Structure 1
Amino acid sequence: MAASGVLTRLARFDPHVAGTFPLGLAVPGSDIDVLCHAPDAQVFAEALWETCRDFEHFAMWQWQKAARPVVAAFSVAGTPFEVFGQALPVQEQHGWRHFAVEARLLELGGEGLRAAVMTARRAGAKTEPAFAQVLGLEGDPYRAMLALADRDDEELKRILKRRGSPGG
């Protein structure tokens, strides 16, 4: 990650690495997720173009949803990256909130939870659906995980225990 220089290139956008690599849940094909605070989508897109366009497989687009985040995907030394820039500070973005609660759950649930989530990941599940499956959460897995983000550790422990989750 550090050798890529991506964080340095995007330093003015408060980049944070999130996702499966720092959680220890990467599977073949996983990418490195970089979340950025990009109050001005045009300025962010121009910076991405200037600093990352020479990376292999570079592509960039802007979502059509209300917040219209800018996303870029590329590879560095064979490792795929996805950079996501949104007007919200990183700590308020859904991707960061998912990442933070997943990290807390892994800390509370230990190796048993990690192993169960990895089993689901290896079977093809994305990260949030894997957690939701292991925890027995119903409905949209992304919304279900987001709903856990504001819960305190004691409540997360109760969820782990109630669901009979490994490590709970």
Structure 2
Amino acid sequence: MQDVTYETALARSGALEVLAAYDPHIVGTLPLDIAIPGSDIDIACHAPDPLAFASAVWTAFASCERFSIDQWVGGGRPVVASFRILDWDIEIFGAHVPVREQPAWRHFDIERRLLDLVGPGLRSDVMQLRLAGLKTEPAFAAAIGLKGDAYVKLLELQTLSDHELASMTASLRL
């Protein structure tokens, strides 16, 4: 891992302050403590006006190392920007829907809940699967025995209560 924590790199970038008007949320493996070498800092934002969002991101980060920015052609035309600071890659995703409705947040939410409910054995299993090459969502799906499209199946689990999730995963507790 890097010599500088992701929190330090994030603070140095000023990203959360620059993006404050876009309801930024850190998602992904770092806050879940399941990062592996090469993990990046993922920030999900609510960007109802993609052009204004792209302009704000461009103005703030275009001078950063490895800066790039793209806008999708469909799905509300979300904007994805990335850059590097203090040996950390940062990826910013801005979509027209509120962050809590975006798939990245929804995956993050269910993964956090599963880790809290199942216990340290799940974190260990997910880490082993990730280190073996699986992406995060497929690693979670494999660790808890979900069949089918991991991304879809995890989103389906998000609608369950903690009690329902606990019942479903009772045999996994280590």
TM over 0.5: yes
Q: Distance in 2 between matches of 1:117 and 1:77?
A: 27
Could you say which residue in structure 2 is the equivalent of 1:69?
Answer: 78
Describe how 1:14-93 pairs up with structure 2 within 5 A: 14-93=23-102
Of 62-71 and 21-30, deviating more is 62-71
- 1:81, distance to aligned residue in structure 2 (A): 0.8
Aligned counterpart in structure 2 of residue 8 of structure 1, from 4, 9, 17:
17
Unaligned runs of 5+ in 2: 1-9
**Contact residue 135 and residue 159 of structure 1 kept, 8 A:** no
Letter of the 1:123 partner, please give it: A
- 1:153, distance to aligned residue in structure 2 (A): 0.7
Could you say which residue in structure 1 is the equivalent of 2:155?
Answer: 146
RMSD: 1.1
- 1:3, distance to aligned residue in structure 2 (A): 2.3
Q: Distance in 2 between matches of 1:128 and 1:73?
A: 21
2:123 is aligned with 1:95: no
- 1:10, distance to aligned residue in structure 2 (A): 1.1
**Contact residue 56 and residue 76 of structure 1 kept, 8 A:** yes
**Contact residue 41 and residue 85 of structure 1 kept, 8 A:** yes
- 1:66, distance to aligned residue in structure 2 (A): 2.2
Instruction: Report % sequence identity.
Output: 49
The alignment partner of 2:141 has SS state of helix
The alignment partner of 2:147 has SS state of coil
2:140 is aligned with 1:126: no
What do the CA deviations read for 1:115-158 (whole angstroms, capped 9, x no partner)?
Answer: 00111111111111110111111111111111111110111112
Unaligned runs of 5+ in 1: none
- 1:14, distance to aligned residue in structure 2 (A): 0.9
Count matched residues.
165
Moved over 4 A (4+): none
